[in-house]
Protein backbone atom coordinates (compact mmCIF):
# COMPACT_ATOMS: atom_id res chain seq x y z
CA UNK A 1 0.00 0.00 0.00
CA UNK A 2 2.99 2.33 -0.57
CA UNK A 3 3.39 3.02 3.16
CA UNK A 4 7.18 2.85 2.95
CA UNK A 5 7.26 5.15 -0.10
CA UNK A 6 5.14 7.62 1.86
CA UNK A 7 7.42 7.35 4.87
CA UNK A 8 10.45 8.12 2.68
CA UNK A 9 8.60 11.07 1.11
CA UNK A 10 7.87 12.49 4.56
CA UNK A 11 11.49 12.13 5.70
CA UNK A 12 12.59 13.97 2.57
CA UNK A 13 10.12 16.79 3.28
CA UNK A 14 11.34 16.97 6.87
CA UNK A 15 14.94 17.31 5.68
CA UNK A 16 13.87 20.18 3.45
CA UNK A 17 12.71 22.03 6.56
CA UNK A 18 9.04 21.26 7.21
CA UNK A 19 8.99 20.37 10.90
CA UNK A 20 5.29 20.59 11.79
CA UNK A 21 4.53 17.07 13.02
CA UNK A 22 0.81 17.32 12.35
CA UNK A 23 1.45 18.22 8.73
CA UNK A 24 4.00 15.42 8.35
CA UNK A 25 1.59 12.92 9.92
CA UNK A 26 -1.22 14.00 7.58
CA UNK A 27 1.07 13.48 4.59
CA UNK A 28 2.03 10.07 5.92
CA UNK A 29 -1.66 9.14 5.93
CA UNK A 30 -2.99 10.55 2.66
CA UNK A 31 -2.50 8.02 -0.16
CA UNK A 32 -0.97 10.34 -2.74
CA UNK A 33 -0.83 7.77 -5.56
CA UNK A 34 -4.61 7.34 -5.78
CA UNK A 35 -5.06 11.03 -6.67
CA UNK A 36 -3.00 10.58 -9.81
CA UNK A 37 -5.27 9.22 -12.57
CA UNK A 38 -4.52 5.50 -13.14
CA UNK A 39 -3.29 6.02 -16.71
CA UNK A 40 -0.61 8.44 -15.47
CA UNK A 41 0.35 6.74 -12.26
CA UNK A 42 4.00 5.85 -12.76
CA UNK A 43 6.31 4.25 -10.22
CA UNK A 44 7.11 7.64 -8.92
CA UNK A 45 4.02 9.13 -7.28
CA UNK A 46 6.09 9.78 -4.14
CA UNK A 47 9.12 11.48 -5.71
CA UNK A 48 9.60 15.15 -4.82
CA UNK A 49 8.41 16.60 -8.09
CA UNK A 50 5.09 17.47 -9.70
CA UNK A 51 3.32 14.64 -11.64
CA UNK A 52 1.03 15.01 -14.65
CA UNK A 53 -2.70 14.52 -13.96
CA UNK A 54 -4.00 15.20 -17.49
CA UNK A 55 -5.32 18.32 -19.25
CA UNK A 56 -1.83 19.82 -19.06
CA UNK A 57 -2.06 20.10 -15.26
CA UNK A 58 0.06 18.64 -12.47
CA UNK A 59 -0.25 17.55 -8.85
CA UNK A 60 2.11 19.81 -6.87
CA UNK A 61 5.36 18.40 -5.52
CA UNK A 62 5.08 16.98 -1.99
CA UNK A 63 7.40 19.58 -0.46
CA UNK A 64 5.28 22.47 -1.79
CA UNK A 65 2.07 20.89 -0.46
CA UNK A 66 3.70 20.41 2.95
CA UNK A 67 5.22 23.88 2.99
CA UNK A 68 2.01 25.71 2.08
CA UNK A 69 -0.01 23.59 4.50
CA UNK A 70 2.42 24.39 7.33
CA UNK A 71 2.21 28.12 6.57
CA UNK A 72 -1.60 27.96 6.78
CA UNK A 73 -1.49 26.79 10.42
CA UNK A 74 -4.50 24.53 9.96
CA UNK A 75 -6.52 23.62 13.03
CA UNK A 76 -9.50 21.22 13.18
CA UNK A 77 -12.78 22.84 12.17
CA UNK A 78 -11.15 25.61 10.16
CA UNK A 79 -13.14 26.54 7.06
CA UNK A 80 -10.80 26.59 4.07
CA UNK A 81 -11.26 27.52 0.43
CA UNK A 82 -8.86 26.05 -2.12
CA UNK A 83 -8.56 27.42 -5.64
CA UNK A 84 -7.21 24.84 -8.13
CA UNK A 85 -8.44 21.43 -6.95
CA UNK A 86 -6.42 19.58 -9.62
CA UNK A 87 -6.06 15.99 -8.40
CA UNK A 88 -7.70 16.66 -5.02
CA UNK A 89 -4.50 15.78 -3.12
CA UNK A 90 -3.91 19.13 -1.40
CA UNK A 91 -7.60 19.25 -0.42
CA UNK A 92 -7.29 15.76 1.10
CA UNK A 93 -4.23 16.80 3.15
CA UNK A 94 -6.19 19.77 4.55
CA UNK A 95 -9.19 17.53 5.30
CA UNK A 96 -6.91 15.00 7.02
CA UNK A 97 -5.90 17.86 9.36
CA UNK A 98 -9.55 18.29 10.27
CA UNK A 99 -10.38 21.31 8.10
CA UNK A 100 -13.71 21.85 6.36
CA UNK A 101 -12.56 22.13 2.78
CA UNK A 102 -14.27 23.78 -0.21
CA UNK A 103 -12.34 23.53 -3.45
CA UNK A 104 -12.88 25.05 -6.92
CA UNK A 105 -11.45 23.69 -10.18
CA UNK A 106 -11.91 25.30 -13.58
CA UNK A 107 -11.51 22.08 -15.64
CA UNK A 108 -14.77 20.12 -15.13
CA UNK A 109 -13.18 16.70 -15.80
CA UNK A 110 -10.55 17.31 -13.10
CA UNK A 111 -13.21 18.55 -10.67
CA UNK A 112 -15.15 15.32 -11.26
CA UNK A 113 -12.07 13.13 -10.85
CA UNK A 114 -11.03 14.89 -7.65
CA UNK A 115 -14.54 14.78 -6.17
CA UNK A 116 -14.73 11.05 -6.82
CA UNK A 117 -11.30 10.26 -5.31
CA UNK A 118 -11.67 12.37 -2.15
CA UNK A 119 -15.07 10.78 -1.51
CA UNK A 120 -13.71 7.27 -2.08
CA UNK A 121 -10.88 8.05 0.37
CA UNK A 122 -13.40 9.13 2.98
CA UNK A 123 -12.89 12.91 3.04
CA UNK A 124 -15.86 15.27 3.16
CA UNK A 125 -14.35 17.80 0.75
CA UNK A 126 -16.78 19.85 -1.34
CA UNK A 127 -15.58 20.26 -4.90
CA UNK A 128 -17.11 22.64 -7.43
CA UNK A 129 -16.32 23.11 -11.13
CA UNK A 130 -16.05 26.84 -11.68
CA UNK A 131 -13.92 29.95 -11.91
CA UNK A 132 -11.76 30.51 -8.84
CA UNK A 133 -11.66 34.30 -9.39
CA UNK A 134 -15.27 34.39 -8.16
CA UNK A 135 -14.52 32.41 -5.03
CA UNK A 136 -17.43 30.69 -3.27
CA UNK A 137 -19.62 33.57 -1.98
CA UNK A 138 -22.36 31.25 -0.64
CA UNK A 139 -19.84 29.67 1.75
CA UNK A 140 -17.80 32.79 2.59
CA UNK A 141 -16.20 33.99 4.79
CA UNK A 142 -13.31 31.54 5.13
CA UNK A 143 -10.69 31.20 7.86
CA UNK A 144 -8.09 30.57 5.19
CA UNK A 145 -7.74 30.46 1.41
CA UNK A 146 -5.05 28.55 -0.49
CA UNK A 147 -4.49 29.17 -4.17
CA UNK A 148 -2.54 26.48 -6.05
CA UNK A 149 -2.36 28.22 -9.42
CA UNK A 150 -0.72 31.59 -10.00
CA UNK A 151 -2.71 34.77 -10.75
CA UNK A 152 -0.85 37.81 -12.09
CA UNK A 153 -2.16 39.86 -9.18
CA UNK A 154 -3.92 39.20 -5.87
CA UNK A 155 -7.60 38.52 -6.73
CA UNK A 156 -9.63 41.15 -4.83
CA UNK A 157 -12.77 39.04 -4.63
CA UNK A 158 -10.88 36.32 -2.75
CA UNK A 159 -9.58 38.85 -0.21
CA UNK A 160 -13.19 39.90 0.39
CA UNK A 161 -14.15 36.27 1.16
CA UNK A 162 -11.56 36.03 3.95
CA UNK A 163 -12.56 36.43 7.59
CA UNK A 164 -10.98 39.24 9.56
CA UNK A 165 -7.77 37.73 10.96
CA UNK A 166 -7.86 35.07 8.24
CA UNK A 167 -4.98 34.33 5.92
CA UNK A 168 -4.52 33.53 2.28
CA UNK A 169 -1.48 31.87 0.75
CA UNK A 170 -0.95 32.19 -2.97
CA UNK A 171 1.71 32.30 -5.66
CA UNK A 172 1.60 35.62 -7.54
CA UNK A 173 3.23 36.65 -10.79
CA UNK A 174 3.79 35.80 -14.41
CA UNK A 175 7.11 34.18 -15.19
CA UNK A 176 8.74 34.77 -11.83
CA UNK A 177 6.25 33.92 -9.09
CA UNK A 178 6.48 34.61 -5.41
CA UNK A 179 4.48 33.00 -2.66
CA UNK A 180 2.56 35.66 -0.73
CA UNK A 181 0.98 35.23 2.67
CA UNK A 182 -1.80 37.73 3.10
CA UNK A 183 -3.44 38.48 6.41
CA UNK A 184 -6.76 40.23 6.49
CA UNK A 185 -6.81 42.99 9.09
CA UNK A 186 -9.66 45.22 10.27
CA UNK A 187 -9.24 47.84 7.57
CA UNK A 188 -7.35 46.05 4.81
CA UNK A 189 -4.63 43.44 4.55
CA UNK A 190 -0.99 42.85 5.22
CA UNK A 191 1.21 41.09 2.67
CA UNK A 192 4.17 38.95 3.64
CA UNK A 193 6.35 37.98 0.67
CA UNK A 194 7.77 34.47 0.90
CA UNK A 195 9.71 32.04 -1.32
CA UNK A 196 9.93 31.97 -5.13
CA UNK A 197 7.85 29.20 -6.67
CA UNK A 198 6.51 27.80 -9.92
CA UNK A 199 2.81 27.03 -10.43
CA UNK A 200 0.57 26.78 -13.49
CA UNK A 201 -1.13 30.10 -14.27
CA UNK A 202 -4.55 30.87 -12.81
CA UNK A 203 -6.51 31.18 -16.02
CA UNK A 204 -9.06 33.89 -16.77
CA UNK A 205 -12.25 32.85 -18.46
N1 LIG B 1 -3.91 21.54 -5.67
C2 LIG B 1 -3.73 20.63 -6.81
C3 LIG B 1 -2.69 21.16 -7.78
C4 LIG B 1 -3.40 21.75 -8.89
S5 LIG B 1 -2.51 22.46 -10.26
C6 LIG B 1 -3.40 19.23 -6.36
O7 LIG B 1 -3.23 18.99 -5.16
O8 LIG B 1 -3.34 18.34 -7.21
C9 LIG B 1 -3.51 23.92 -10.43
C10 LIG B 1 -4.94 23.72 -10.84
O11 LIG B 1 -5.53 25.02 -10.90
C12 LIG B 1 -5.15 23.09 -12.21
O13 LIG B 1 -5.92 21.92 -12.08
C14 LIG B 1 -5.89 24.18 -13.00
O15 LIG B 1 -6.84 23.67 -13.91
C16 LIG B 1 -6.54 24.99 -11.90
N17 LIG B 1 -6.93 26.36 -12.27
C18 LIG B 1 -6.29 27.23 -13.09
N19 LIG B 1 -6.96 28.40 -13.17
C20 LIG B 1 -8.05 28.27 -12.36
C21 LIG B 1 -9.15 29.13 -12.04
N22 LIG B 1 -9.28 30.36 -12.56
N23 LIG B 1 -10.08 28.69 -11.18
C24 LIG B 1 -10.00 27.42 -10.64
N25 LIG B 1 -9.00 26.57 -10.92
C26 LIG B 1 -8.03 26.98 -11.78
205 domain-assigned: no
Identify the helix (H) or strand (E) that includes residue 89: helix 89-96
Helix (H, G, I), strand (E, B) or coil at 195: strand
The CATH number of whichever domain residue 43 belongs to comes to 3.40.50.150
What is the C-alpha to C-alpha distance for residues 189 and 165, in angstroms, rounded to an integer? Answer: 9
177 domain-assigned: yes
Does the Cβ of 117 fall within 6 Å of ligand 1?
A: no
Number of domains in the chain: 1
Whether the pLDDT of residue 144 is over 90: the answer is: yes
What is the C-alpha to C-alpha distance for residues 195 and 202, in angstroms, rounded to an integer? Answer: 18
Q: What is the CA radius of gyration of the chain?
A: 16
- Of the candidate ranges 33-47, 102-116, 174-188, the one whose mean pLDDT is the lowest: 33-47
Asked if 82 and 90 count as a contact pair (C-beta separation under 8 A), the reply is yes
155 domain-assigned: yes
The one catalytic residue among 4, 60, 87, 103:
60
Asked if 171 and 197 count as a contact pair (C-beta separation under 8 A), the reply is yes
**Domain boundaries, position 119:** 3-197
Ligand 1 nearest-atom number relative to CA 114: 8
Does the Cβ of 84 fall within 6 Å of ligand 1?
A: yes
135 domain-assigned: yes
81 domain-assigned: yes
Atom 17 of ligand 1: nearest residue by CA position? 84
pLDDT digits (tens, 9 = 90+) for 62-92: 999 999 999 999 999 999 999 999 999 999 9
42 domain-assigned: yes
Q: Is 60 a catalytic residue?
A: yes
Atom 23 of ligand 1: nearest residue by CA position? 132
Phi, psi of 188 (to 5 degrees): 170, -140
Amino acid sequence: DMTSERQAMVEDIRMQGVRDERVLEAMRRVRRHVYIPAAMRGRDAYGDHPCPIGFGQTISQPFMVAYMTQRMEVTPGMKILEIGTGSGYQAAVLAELGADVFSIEIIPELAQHAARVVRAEGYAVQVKAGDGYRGWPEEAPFDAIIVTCAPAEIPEELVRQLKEGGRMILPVGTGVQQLIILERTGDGFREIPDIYVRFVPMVKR
